[in-house]
Amino acid sequence: MINKKIKLNQAVILCGGPGTRLGDITKKIAKPLIILDNKKNMIDFIIMNLSRYGFKKVLLLCHYHYKKFFKLYHKKKIHDLYIECVYENELLGSAGSICNAQKYIDDYFLLCNGDTYFDFNILDLYDKFKHKKYLGIYALAQTTKNTSRYSSVKIKKDYISEFNSNGKGKFKIFSSGIAIFSKKFIKEIKKVRSLENEAIPLLVKKKKIQYELYNKTFNNFIDIGIISDLKKSKKFFSKNLKKKFIIFDRDGIINLDNGYTYKIKEFVWRSNIFDLIKFFNDNNYYTFVATNQSGIGRGYYKELDVLKLHDWINKKLKDKGAHIDEFFHAPYFKQSKNKDYKINRNLRKPNIGMYLKIFSKWLIDKNKSFVIGDSQSDIEFANNAGLNGILIKPGEDVYKVSLKKIKEC
């Protein structure tokens, strides 16, 4: 379980390199800013993904074509993330750029490269980090392909025992480039320039770098550092951003249904729901909540109360390495005294208005996607949306029943 004293709100993205392996392509534009798919560059995709995991701030470390980064991102809020850029006057190397930005960096931060994308449950990495024992934890993956372009590693127990930087890959497990660090690690790297050639091998020798191994095929990873992979990026993002998804009912599934729940002190988690949500996070599903909240229309509580409760739910889920991608609610009640809440607007289940909101905002794959609810209205909602419905009866184990039904499909 995560130590609650640790706060992980910031991501630091390395963007300073010239990208020489892409030849003429990067003469006029920095590698992370090359348009890849749907008018988005790699930074856009990374920011969009970070927003799913509750990050609040992003720090872009820039040098090459830095003015473009500042114009696009500096002191702007995108997907609820506040973004700042830090300029280095000369190319300092990956370790040097981190040291240069030290005063802007939080006590704990996520580090990633501006030219790579790895789709996995970042909060699980956060959950596994033994911060009192290690200075950082790397997300690793496994492959049967040639690893000579990447930093390959050898592992023991829960730490990295050998770290071989680019061109020296001899192991089939290697670094995704994504890691969580304590700011204390900056003190250890002040005299070096390169993170992967100098800093990390140095800390590995001291047994200071933990790891977590995520997938066995590396299919969720792309590096646009060479032209052949840059050409694959459009297909990669079209495939990997369109995910299976789960829509949870709230009252009766996430929490016990005690009638018009809106106060945190009255909220009681359903048994095993943390494990179920995390299972879907770990297995690359989007997770949503769609809940009828006629208590708003009835005047029992305010819409702000529901929003505050949903924010609190995600904070508690984060403590378990899990998250809900987005909450949707229908506040309507036909006899409401508030005219804004009288009209159904097709949102209230079993109508599919909340599903249509999900469909318009997220790239989703209806195949093998599910609604998990505790009422016939939830099942009708699933049927109307063309999804599979799973009905959880009173007293049933929501984790076991849900996974059993999904396997049957």
Would you call 76 exposed, middle or buried from its count of C-beta atoms within 10 A (0-12, 13-18, 19+)?
A: middle
| 333 DSSP assignment | -
Do residues 166 and 198 touch, judged by C-beta distance below 8 A? no
Give the phi and the psi of residue 139 in degrees, each rounded to 5.
-85, 120
Catalytic residue among 44, 249, 325, 378: 249
Nearest to 351 by CA among 384, 376, 322, 323: 384
Whether residue 361 contacts residue 379, with contact meaning beta carbons closer than 8 Å, is answered with no
Q: Evaluate whether 42 touches 32 at the Cβ level (below 8 Å).
A: yes
251 is catalytic: yes
Cross-strand bridge partners of residue 84: 59
Catalytic residue among 124, 223, 251, 374: 251
Would residue 397 show up in a list of annotated catalytic residues for this protein? Answer: no
**Rounded Cα distance, 85 and 83, in Å:** 7
Cα–Cα distance for residue pair 26/6, rounded to 1 Å: 38
CA angle 84/87/90 to nearest 5° reads 165
Cα 29 to Cα 41, 66, 119, 237, distances in angstroms: 11, 10, 25, 21
Encoded amino acid at 384, one letter? N
Beta bridge partners of 87: 62
**∠ CA 335-338-344, rounded to 5°:** 60
Catalytic machinery residues: 249, 251
